[in-house]
Chains A and B, each alone.
Chain A
Amino acid sequence: MTRRTVVDIATQVAAGSLSASTVLEENLAAIAAREHEIHAFNLVTADKARERAAQIDADVKAGKKVGRLAGVTIALKDNLCTRGVETTCSSKILAGWKPPYDATVVRRLADEGAVVVGKTNLDEFAMGSSTENSAFGPTRNPLDTSRVPGGSSGGSAAAVAAGFSAASFGSDTGGSIRQPAALCGLVGVKPTYGMVSRQGLVAFGSSLDQIGPFTTTVADAALLMEVIAGHDPLDSTSLPQPAPQLVNVLARGVKGLRIGRVADMPEGSSPDVLARLDAAFDALRAAGATVVDVKLPSMSFGLTAYYLVAPAEASSNLARFDGVRYGLRVDAKDLNAMYGATRAAGFGDEVKRRIMLGTYALSAGYYDAYYGKALKVRRLIADDFAKAYEQCDAILTPTSPTVAFKFGDKTSNPLTMYLCDVFTIPTNLAGHAAMSVPFGTGDAGLPVGVQVLAPALGEATMFQVAAELERSS
């Protein structure tokens, strides 16, 4: 099957040279052929998608104006609310829940003519880096089914990598878009905090979460970002400004840009990944950029700060799953017993572990020692980035320390799994922009992702660099 890009589909469907139904049926055929071995989806909404595609084709035929994403097939991580369509967060505690509203991002995509093919699998409540923590079973990497697709948005990454949809959306709290994008050979974007509305994204770490796209090209990601970004009055942390212009910066090149190389980068990356990072610096240098050494001394403390801040916020956010308003209820003699029994039965091990860690870090007597300290480390990391960005316009690091790993490799000790996110976490703590771009292959012929970091609201520069890397790869 030929890979159709978002830009190609939108252009051709709007022009009437390709039908939305044809695109959709290609994707549904791919799903029928391989979904049983990949398990990218919790739910495939084929009927709704066919209705939607037929409507778009009818609109085109009737000469009506169609949106910027007419006929573009997308998959949505199953923590994005879709009105009347089951949204589970891959947790037993939410099984059967049909949200009474659409997430802002979902509404904006629909308004521009996108066709939703289904809801994708994730680590339960987005907690994990391999999609092995889903209550509904793991997702497999379409490039090598003995390996994980990354996580937590593993289903969204796998859906695009397997040709089940032209693009997909995930959420990124500590790397959950960028790491699976890297492991599946895709482009994945974590926007500046507040650039994309979180309304209708089931909250994990409210000061860290952002929604972003998975695509096969940088241009596709730029177009999707222009559609989903911009102020939303329904999210009080949404930045009061319009979506950035990204499509028109892609051809600018990197001449004159200063690209930071982290001189004191945390260790532990495998040689194949570091070789691709070196090649990325060479490519940008060849294209006219200068490479400068910067220091981020607090970067290696990011994991510690994150694994206190994120569980603390999660323990508070997940308090709402109590068997009263939605999802699972385990009956018991009184309200408190019902809460305890429902939450014990509904949450998986990793979610319980993080609720416990977060509750502990916030509890009287321990707050200053753990949560309070973590917030101070968070400040140091933001300050380090601020200093680094005085010397450079963007920074390159690996996205993931290794290529896609095998199932079970990192499940015995939670800390080894957490180390997957060492390069992605600092950006979430600082609230900056970051994206992963495929840049060649490493061990076992598997894709390596290079991470482009930019300051808050630095998306235009970030996309310029990403487009150059794509041209050189």
Chain B
Amino acid sequence: MPEPISRNTVAKVARLARLDLTEAEVDRMTDQLAGMLEHFRDVDALDLSNVQPLNQPIPLTNVLRDDVEQPSLDRDEVLGNAPAAQDGRFRVPPIIGFEE
């Protein structure tokens, strides 16, 4: 298992997860995640070298439907739920140009 999780790592993970955590939240999260990860070391007792990972309990492969046209969701109903919409599209703030 790697080193205990650091405050810097927690702050970096928060950025990856697009979560603006407060300084106090980063502190608390560092303690709590460190505690959990420490607890998770119990699996170090297991020999997993020859074990295949299990991703899906009951694997089905290549589930495709027939390529037949079907009605999709009503556009107005979908956009009616959006915080901002314009001209039949979702409206978002500027994507580039404001990096600090």
Q: Which residues of A contact B (CB under 8 A)?
A: 97-98, 100-101, 192-194, 207, 233, 236-237, 239-240, 298, 300-301, 304-305, 307-308, 315, 319, 322-329, 331-341, 343-344, 347, 352-353, 355-357, 359-360, 363, 365-366, 369-370, 372-380, 382, 413-415, 429-432, 456
Q: Kindly list the 8 A-B residue pairs having the minimum CB-CB distance in the complex, ordered from nearest.
A: A431-B57, A375-B53, A329-B83, A334-B98, A340-B20, A344-B20, A379-B54, A236-B63
A253 → B minimal CB distance (Å): 29
Partner of B94, one of A194, A329, A333, A430: A333
* Interface SS of chain A: helix
Question: Which residues of B are found within 8 Å of A101, using beta-carbon distances?
Answer: 73
Contact A353 B90 (CB under 8 A): no
A297 to B5, CA, bound (A): 29
Question: Which residues of B are found within 8 Å of A431, using beta-carbon distances?
Answer: 56-58
Contact B58 A194 (CB under 8 A): yes
Q: Which residues of B contact A (CB under 8 A)?
A: 1-2, 5, 9-10, 13-21, 25, 29, 32-33, 35-37, 39-40, 42-43, 46, 48, 51-58, 60, 63, 65, 73-74, 77-78, 80-84, 90, 92-99
Name which residue of chain A comes closest to B1, CB basis: A369
* Interface SS of chain B: loop
A437 to B60, CA, bound (A): 31
Contact B36 A301 (CB under 8 A): no
Q: List 16 A-B contacts (CB under 8 A).
A: A239-B58, A307-B40, A324-B92, A328-B83, A333-B93, A335-B93, A335-B95, A337-B98, A352-B25, A353-B32, A360-B9, A365-B2, A375-B53, A414-B32, A414-B36, A415-B39
Contact B17 A341 (CB under 8 A): no
Contact A325 B57 (CB under 8 A): no
A398 → B minimal CB distance (Å): 21
Partner of B57, one of A305, A319, A382, A413: A382
Most buried by A among B32, B57, B58: B57
Question: Which residues of A are found within 8 Å of B15, using beta-carbon distances?
Answer: 340
Partner of B20, one of A300, A324, A335, A341: A341
B83 → A minimal CB distance (Å): 4
Partner of A335, one of B74, B82, B83, B92: B92
A352 to B36, CA, bound (A): 14
